[in-house]
Amino acid sequence: MSAKPKKAINLKQIYRQLPRYQKLLVLVLALYLSFVTLLGLLIPSIAEQQLPIQLSETLKRPVSLKDVSINPFNLHVSLTELHIFEEDNTKFTGFAALNFELSFWHSLINGAISIKDVTLTGPYLLAERLSQTEGAEFNFSDIITEMTNTTTSAPSEENPATLPHIMVERLAIVSGNLNFIDTLTDSQLSYPDINLDIKGFDTLTEISNQQNAANRFSIRLQGKNGGEIATQGQLQLSPLNITGSLQLKEIALPEFWSFISEEFQAHLDTGKFNFSTDFALSMSETSVEQPLILTTSQGQFALKDILFTHENRPLISLPLFAAENIALNLSQQQLQISRLYSEKLTLDGHVSAAGLDLVPLFMPNFISTKTKEPGDTQAAEVNTETSTPLPKLAVIDEPSVETASTWSAIIDKVELKEFDIKVTENLASDNTQWQVSPLNLTTGKIYSDLRSPVQYQLDLAINSAGQFNASGELNLKLQRIESKISLEDFSLPQLQAYLSPYLNIQLEQGRLDAHGVVKASSIDDLVFSGDAAINDLFVKDTIQNKALLKWQSMTLSQLSLNQSKHLLSIDAIDFVKPYSRLIIAEDKSTNIGGLVIAQASDEANQERLAKSKQDKLKILIGKLGFTQGSTFFADNSLTPNFAASIEQLEGQVSQLSSTSTSPAKVDIKGKIDKYAPVTLKGEINPLLEMPYLDLALKFANVELTSVNPYSGTYAGYYIDKGQLSLDLNYQLEENKLQGSNHMVVDQLTLGERSDSSLATSLPVTLAIALLQDRHGVIDLGLDVSGDLDSPEFSFGGIILTAFTNVITKAVTAPFSLLSGIFGDSDALDSIAFGSGLAKISDSEADKLETLTKALTERPKLTLSVEGAIDPIADSQELKMHMLTQKLAQIGKITPDVMPRKLSASQFPTQGPLSDALISLYESEVGSKADEIKAQIMAKNEQDETQLSDEELNIQWHIALYNLVLNHQEVDELMLGDLATERALAVKAHLVDINKLEPSRIFLLDSRIDTNQGAQEAILTLGAE
């Protein structure tokens, strides 16, 4: 027998001889050693070999496992370097190490699977979205499909199994790595640092007690390019209940945008996303319709440093957009945000007939492609919808049979600060730049069900040349707005680009202010009430490049516009220092006639014109007032040119209406060339379809020397002296014009004859002699009439025709004018004298002869004579006489050599008189005569008028003569002596020449309280 069998027999004998308890100990020891050998050596070896094989068969991918170890003494299990590969041997998923330790005795005591520590180190996953040609959507789609098929083929249990009781002291994932690659968009997401930590995990623990420290978890994902996703809280599995908080910090948005960037033309260059919230997620055990209960609170959302570009052109820049204190209740379908806040958004866009250019840049390609398909009705509908800025709201109050539950959202406040919006407008102009910056908007509470109006405040600056403010409420449910608005210092030249295609004007200056209340529910239901003003307006016409219209201010008080009623009502329009300019060019065109640029007539314009006639605006203006107004008129078609101005324009037009039959009252006054008053009074209503007027226009004492260009061109003579007064009365009713004109010309004196080819052939000097009375006055009455509907009607034409008829009658039938002059008491009640003279002329001697005959035939009549003067004409003549004497004395000229008639227009421009005039001017006025010439030259250069040396010399001597003449002084004593001398001259002629008895002639005192009615001797009859 060998040694080994003997040894085995000995062992058996020894075992049998052992006591019972020792036998049990030996048995337990043998089992333990077998367990250790099995668990520590055999199972790891089998697992290390079989696990990769089984996983490879299941996943259809190569699998490798470096090591499996089990500590049989503390039941610590460790798996290292498990890797699952793709078919091309690139890593798909795996981990560096998995370690966990079973708590055997703890499991027995608690009746649960108890694990002391589970740590997964270095797990990774490379997920990839494949190209469509490879047949699968993701590189793990086949795994999901296989698992789904396996699950479907397996028999399902009628009752779901309850959760096993598992307790894990600590569960951790350390340094995980997740990569996602999208081959379709060539995009990638990478989170190389993923960590998870769960402490005191128990599948059956309830966390209703906030002090319970079980099932606390913490998860953190760190992005490769920055950004962090983290969540922490407490977890309950049955029933599901998770409470905690979630944070997303500095998430780089371009990484995510790259997945959809091919669908958009706009490119997201920069941008970060932040989000944090507290949340509670649980399963409802009672509600089947809403099994999931989710609530969030104290949520914070922010987008930062957003920048969209296109072809290196910045489109939209948004430094910050934030939502604060977000609260969500999924079961109640409620969302509440305490504040939406955004600041310093910058937008740069172009608007044309195709719309805003930013819209297609942010429109997905599949939508834009669809809208461009020809003949596609749906595409047209999509295009219409996308181009509609404000879609119609659904009818909220209308009940439905089956009302689905809807979400309700409340935003307590919206704040937009310092927005900068730049738009290049190419729709109604040629690339006009508009910038709205800064734009600030604040709103009150906003409800998604639109239960109450939204209060708001808006302020913005327009091109840094105008400030707009608005505050009020917006009723989205009724689609109605009511707001207080204010527009201040809006620069009107910004609108030049919109006026240039239609008007030949240049808005050089002007500011618009408006304040009021706007109420509107649509563009056709707009009501505005308030005040407006345009200040410092200055408009030039681009044809002559000169001022056309300007004013210091135009104020519109209590302005009211009602679009639905087509009514515009203004209580008062007040102009301060208005100025207008009317110029007739050399070709007789006017700066007014060429203002409007002719537009091509098309169907759209015809439709707009028809609609404007149909919806004609009714206008009511309480008062149209003028203060310190002026107007300038120049006629450059004449030689020399004519210019005049109406200044100190004051007055008003009251109660203008386009609907009322009651006319407006007109009361306006002014002065022509500073001295001659002009008034306009009456009634007018130009806003009616058939205008009405009844106006009286009066000009008083207009110096006729100012119209020399007209008299020289059309009458054939220049005027040396004279004044014009006009009373014009016109009535227009039912397009029928009736008018009467009263013209008075005082002291008209003709000068040199002109060489005008347009001069009348009538004997002008004879007409003046026949029409001018003994006081030097021409008094004419002209009645005119016309039909405005006649194509041959001309307002100036009918007046010219009436005036020509009067002149023609005077020169063709002069005796009819003189008939009855003898024996007429009015013709003999005064004896006229020349200006500054007390000498009876031959014509007045004839009148005295007739008077002598009358007095001789009536011996009981007495005659009183009172001298009278014309303070203006006589003073002027006395001045001329004084001036003539001084000039003769200085020039050493004898009276017989002096010119017979010396006036400003006929003054010699060279010789002794010229030298004397220059010397007298410098001695009496006290300044150099050459300064006057320089002033004349400067004025002509300013008016762009070229003068010859002779014309300049003539104007210079005229100016010197008038200045020296005005420097002469005539006192009241000299005028009184002249009046007395005139009375004595009449009596002397009647007594000495006509041989009347001196006792019948009485001289009245003419020195004290001198009569200043005219340059004459006033005769009155009395009885003895």
The CA distance from 517 to 183, in Å, is: 58
The CA distance from 793 to 787, in Å, is: 7
Determine how many CB atoms are found less than 10 A away from the CB of residue 585.
16
Task: Tell me the pLDDT band of 94, cut-offs 50, 70 and 90.
Answer: very high
State the sign of the Cα–Cα–Cα–Cα dihedral 952, 953, 957, 963: positive
- Of the listed ranges 424-428, 438-442, 559-563, 811-815, the one predicted with least confidence: 811-815
pLDDT higher than 70, residue 578? yes
Task: Tell me the pLDDT band of 899, cut-offs 50, 70 and 90.
Answer: confident
| CA nearest neighbour of 558 among 621, 476, 480 | 621
Q: What is the pLDDT of residue 978?
A: 85
Cα maximum dimension of the chain: 212
Backbone φ and ψ for 619, nearest 5 degrees, come out as: -120, 130
The CA distance from 71 to 48, in Å, is: 15
Give the domains, in start order, of the chain with CATH numbers.
242-252+265-363+406-449 (no CATH), 690-812 (no CATH), 825-1023 (3.30.1330.60)
- Mutual angle of helices 871-891 and 972-988, in 10-degree steps: 100
Region 950-959: what's the mean pLDDT?
A: 80
Q: What is the pLDDT of residue 886?
A: 82
Task: Tell me the pLDDT band of 1009, cut-offs 50, 70 and 90.
Answer: confident
Q: What is the pLDDT of residue 867?
A: 87
Q: What is the pLDDT of residue 396?
A: 41
Is there a contact between 298 and 330 (Cβ–Cβ < 8 Å)? no
Backbone φ and ψ for 890, nearest 5 degrees, come out as: -70, -40
889 DSSP 8-state letter: H
Higher-confidence residue of 243 and 600: namely: 243
Q: Kindly report each contact of residues 551-558 with a partner whose C-beta sits within 8 Å and lies 24 or more positions away, as own/partner.
A: 551/575, 551/576, 551/577, 551/578, 551/579, 552/576, 552/577, 552/628, 553/577, 554/578, 555/531, 556/531, 556/532, 557/531, 558/529, 558/530, 558/531, 558/622
Higher-confidence residue of 116 and 8: namely: 116
Q: What is the pLDDT of residue 410?
A: 94
pLDDT higher than 90, residue 325? yes
Token pair in block for residue 897: 């050599």
Determine how many CB atoms are found less than 10 A away from the CB of residue 167.
20
Task: Tell me the pLDDT band of 834, cut-offs 50, 70 and 90.
Answer: confident
- Of the listed ranges 211-215, 743-747, 856-860, the one predicted with least confidence: 856-860
pLDDT higher than 80, residue 829? no
The CA distance from 713 to 408, in Å, is: 85
Q: What is the pLDDT of residue 588?
A: 67
Token pair in block for residue 1: 């027998």
**Range among 146-160, 183-197, 282-296, 334-348 with highest mean pLDDT value:** 334-348
| CA nearest neighbour of 511 among 531, 542, 487, 535 | 535
Higher-confidence residue of 531 and 845: namely: 531
Q: What is the pLDDT of residue 353?
A: 86
Token pair in block for residue 523: 């563009």
Query: Could you report the per-residue pLDDT of 175-194, keeping only the tens digit for each?
Result: 999 999 888 888 888 999 99
Task: Tell me the pLDDT band of 389, cut-offs 50, 70 and 90.
Answer: very low
Region 700-718: what's the mean pLDDT?
A: 69
Q: What is the pLDDT of residue 619?
A: 85
> Above pLDDT 70, what percent of the chain?
77
The CA distance from 984 to 979, in Å, is: 9
pLDDT higher than 60, residue 160? no
Task: Tell me the pLDDT band of 607, cut-offs 50, 70 and 90.
Answer: low
pLDDT higher than 90, residue 422? yes
- Give the chain's mean pLDDT: 79
The alpha carbons of the chain give a radius of gyration, in whole angstroms, of: 55
Query: Could you report the per-residue pLDDT of 650-695, keeping only the tens digit for each?
Result: 888 888 777 777 777 888 888 877 767 878 788 877 666 667 777 7
The CA distance from 219 to 172, in Å, is: 9
> Above pLDDT 90, what percent of the chain?
24
Residues 6+ apart with CB under 8 A from 414: 339, 340, 341, 441, 442, 443, 446
Q: What is the pLDDT of residue 393?
A: 39
Higher-confidence residue of 208 and 92: namely: 92
| CA nearest neighbour of 502 among 423, 605, 424, 580 | 605
How distant, in Å, are the alpha carbons of 133, 659, 979 from that of 1013? 116, 50, 11
- Render 811-852 in DSSP notation, one character per residue: HH-HHHHHTT-TT-HHHHSEEE--TT-----HHHHHHHHHHH
Token pair in block for residue 96: 């560096």
**Range among 59-63, 335-339, 361-365 with highest mean pLDDT value:** 335-339
pLDDT higher than 50, residue 380? no
Query: Could you report the per-residue pLDDT of 198-248, keeping only the tens digit for each?
Result: 888 888 887 766 567 778 899 999 988 888 999 999 888 888 888 999 999
971 class by beta-carbon count within 10 Å (0-12 exposed, 13-18 middle, 19+ buried): exposed
Region 990-1007: what's the mean pLDDT?
A: 85
Query: Could you report the per-residue pLDDT of 906-926, keeping only the tens digit for each?
Result: 778 888 887 877 888 788 878
pLDDT higher than 80, residue 57? yes
Q: What is the pLDDT of residue 6?
A: 56
pLDDT higher than 50, residue 1006? yes
Task: Tell me the pLDDT band of 707, cut-offs 50, 70 and 90.
Answer: low
CA 666 to chain centre: 34
Is there a contact between 517 and 529 (Cβ–Cβ < 8 Å)? yes
Region 928-949: what's the mean pLDDT?
A: 80
The CA distance from 403 to 449, in Å, is: 14
User: Could you tell me the end-to-end alpha-carbon distance of the chain, in angstroms, rounded to an integer?
Assistant: 208
